Structure 1
Amino acid sequence: MQKQFVKPLLFIVAFIITSATGYLLLQKLTQQRQTDFINAQQQQMIPVLVAATPIEVGTALELELLQQRNYPPNYIADTWLLPSDAHVVVGLTAQEYIDAGQPLQLSLLAAPQQQDLLPLQANQVAVTATITMEQLIGGLLRVGDHVVLRAQRLGQSALTLDDIEIIALDANTGATASGSEHEIFASTVTFAMTASQASEFELMRDYGFRLWLKSHSAEPLPEHFAQQTQIHRLGATQP
């Protein structure tokens, strides 16, 4: 009687073991296929430049505010920026609120507003010249200051331009000569001049000009000032 039950029992046990083994193999195969599918998708993913944190309107973009995130190719819009575009967007400002993880687009960004040059009068031109640290008056020179420009010529009267306004130092049209929080002093200065003053200044370049900073309340120099100083060569006939 016992032998009659042993054989079916063994069959049932064998069936259970076989079924369990088959289930485990099927589950492992399914997991492997899922892993292969995910890996294949990841290999096809394209990195996109996104916001690492929420970015408020008017915020200047820095590298710390950027990160990359992978997207399927068919999900990416043509206007989305790639990680290789990071150097282009750094320094731009947000025109709209950008949420964390949102793909960046140039339409969301704008170049920072630059202060315009001080307005020129109808009869004025802008003239730029290189300047030395001495001509910067040790860093005291500011946009909007008025200066005297003077060049001494051998055997001739000095050339003098009075009350010349400074409208820019390098590309900076703000109030400081350094134009930077790192105190990098300007190397060029831009003056507002009339056409005749600009022509005379071109002659002054050849002799090397001096720059004198004027007080805002200073009066114009006397008309005969340019004739006061002359330098003569040794042996030259005195006038």
Structure 2
Amino acid sequence: MDLFVLFTMNDLFLSFLGCFAEMAEFEEIAEGVEEAIDGAKEGIEGLPEEVRAEIEAEIAETRTVIEELTTTESKLRGILKSLGSCVSDLVKFTFKNIAIGAILWGVNVALNKLLPQGHQQETKTKVRNVIKALSDVINAEAAINQKTLEWMKAHENDKITLDGIEVPMEAILTKYMKPLVEATDKAKTIVDTLQEKVDGKIQFKCPTADDMRKFMEVTEAFIKAFTDLIVFILKHEDQVKVLQSFPVKEGDLVDLTAKLNVAKDLPLW
């Protein structure tokens, strides 16, 4: 059996700081999306009715999605605060992806200014379709992460014995979530690419096709990490009964993979 590497107290303290920094970043991005919405409203009165209706629909949909992401972020924040320790790789990945979701919808509502009317209309449609498909991916990931963290909350003080070695339950997740470190770094690169500060305010930039492909690679790493974890659980659940209650199942990953494939099959630009 592989040995599990445990966090030191200093590691945990630094992990908490990192997790709460991710939360603060989301709040700033959400404010940036609100400013993008205000910008999208400017000057639409003089546009043709069809174009104006399209922009208003995108604004309404963006508001709805940002409210949903804010609710998800708040729930995860509550779970994190109640945990005695922090599975930092999973938590940082979760908050970074929620931030990407908010940024993508900020891009969505700003597209009419980023890509003016005319020959770029086809590109706008492609960007919007991919953003909406990736929004489904992010929601599915967040649901998996929420179930995982809630389970950790219920079992954070559990210790299990495998092959005669006693380890904390958290060590299992810590081991299998390690691949998310690199994925989170890639996600951060995407976040940095799609936004910039101008006069102290966040402004969004149109993503490239490569940005979107990188995000899809991030999700593939997420699926691989949880697939390996579930394989481990299935191998040991008869030996350690509590593992049978782990809430993420193969079907969750099949669903997430299907959503990812929808995004991958869409034409990029």
TM bucket (normalised to shorter chain) is under 0.3
Which one has a larger percent helix, Structure 1 or Structure 2? 2
Tell which structure's C-alpha radius of gyration is larger: 1
When the two structures are superposed, what TM-score results if normalisation uses the length of structure 2? 0.21
Which one has a larger percent strand, Structure 1 or Structure 2? 1
